[in-house]
Structure 1
Amino acid sequence: MPLYEHVFISRQDLSNTQAEGLVEHFGTVLADNGGKLVDSEYWGIKTMAYKINKNRKGHYAYLRTDAPAPAVQEMERLMRLHEDVMRILTIKVDEHAEGPSIQMQKRDDRDRGDRGDRGDRRR
């Protein structure tokens, strides 16, 4: 089955348990339609770059799924209809990355990669 990654933003006035309950709810929607929730992360309340529906902040959640396309379409349809979900993003990936997402890693643990020679940069 295809692999997907989903990020959704829910309203800021929800409690943490209600926001995490949305993750479980959409996981069961996938399971009912033949897919499975591989991993999920609750990223917490974050400030957005611009207001969405008069909200400056939102609860961010991240899902890794292994599901057929009709199951993903049904989950997205229900997310769009749900009054607590403000935005969704779904990406089809070739494989899931191991370990926690970049958002959940500590800043010191992130690999910045080889930055190469800086040339004539002053020190």
Structure 2
Amino acid sequence: MTQSSCEKVRDVAGIYLNPPEAAIVLCVDEKTQVQALDRTQPIRPMVPGVPLRQTTEYKRNGISNLYAALNVASGKVITKMTVAHRAVEFIDKKAPKELGVHVALNNYAAYKTDPVRT
């Protein structure tokens, strides 16, 4: 049985406002396809009366994906950069097994896989 939108909002808000004891609550999002660009010429520094100058030409060095997780209790942000954007890159195998982990995610397909749910 699927939850209604209202029930989902109550669940997410409830876990933020009243997190379980001995559990980690994370709010996760990603920024995909961040272009790694490099200028073809060095940037010229500012000097009095002359603004910073840089060329508009750049070299493409591929793309990266940025994941960020906010630990709701501590306010600490955990980040991870990956080359691919799949479930296997998303999973952190170092997560403490003795603690419950509650994660708020969007509907990206990679998050719906069995390894991520586990």
> TM-score surpassing 0.5?
no
TM category, shorter: under 0.3
Please give the TM-score of this superposition, normalised by the length of structure 2: 0.22
Greater RCO, CA 8 A, separation 6+ = 1
**TM-score normalised to structure 1 length:** 0.21
Say which one has the larger Rg. Answer: 2
